[in-house]
Amino acid sequence: MRIEPLLSAEAIREVVTCLGQRISQDYADKDLTILGVLTGSIVFVADLMRAIPIPHRLGLLQASSYRGATQTSGELTLEVSLLPDVRDRDILLVDDILDTGKTMSAIVSKLSAYGPKSIRSAVLLWKKERTVVEMIPDYVGFEIPDAFVVGYGLDYDDRFRHIPYIGVLDTSDADQAPS
């Protein structure tokens, strides 16, 4: 397997800083709760939180629609046991990537039942051409092509999350070690 760099660690850092500034301005004087979607967003959430100097709460939820390395099962599983009280709070739902949009749309629908004041979304990556639901993320780091990406929290079969940049994974020769 080879990993072809797509977005450098420096480019990611710059975008996260800019997103943090925009979010801080938009949520000044609001009761902000950041909800990270596990597991892929964990690196993005940690960096984004540090880029948002205004007071905020953190919560986590787990959403999964993948089985195995790259195939989606189509069935969404949500685990909300780590969700803080969000009633009457402004929610910023943070995920690593918006692909078809089905996961994000389902999460927003479920969160609405908890009575938040508002729900907005932030994604590091958006595969705009693959989005099939009527959902536009409120904050987007990068629009990327339809390719399987890893690094900066994104994985292939629970590997490569630790890579500090985002790269396109070539699985055509799965016996080779990543470069």
What pLDDT sits at residue 167?
A: 97
pLDDT value, residue 178? 47
pLDDT above 90 covers what percent of the chain?
A: 73
pLDDT score of 1: 83
Give yes or no for residue 73 having a pLDDT over 70.
no
Active site residues: 99
Dihedral (CA of 173, 146, 69, 16) sign: positive
Contact 67, 73 (CB under 8 A): yes
Mean pLDDT of 60-66: 78
Question: Which has more confidence, 85 or 51?
Answer: 51
Give residue 171's pLDDT.
Answer: 77
Beta bridge partner(s), residue 167: 5, 150
Q: Residue 68 above 60 pLDDT?
A: no
| Per-residue pLDDT band at 135 (split at 50, 70, 90) | confident
What is the spatial distance between Cα 51 and Cα 73, in angstroms, rounded to a whole number? 34
* Buried-state track 78-105, b at ≥16 Cβ within 10 A, e below 16: beeeebeebeebbbbbbbbbbbebbbbb
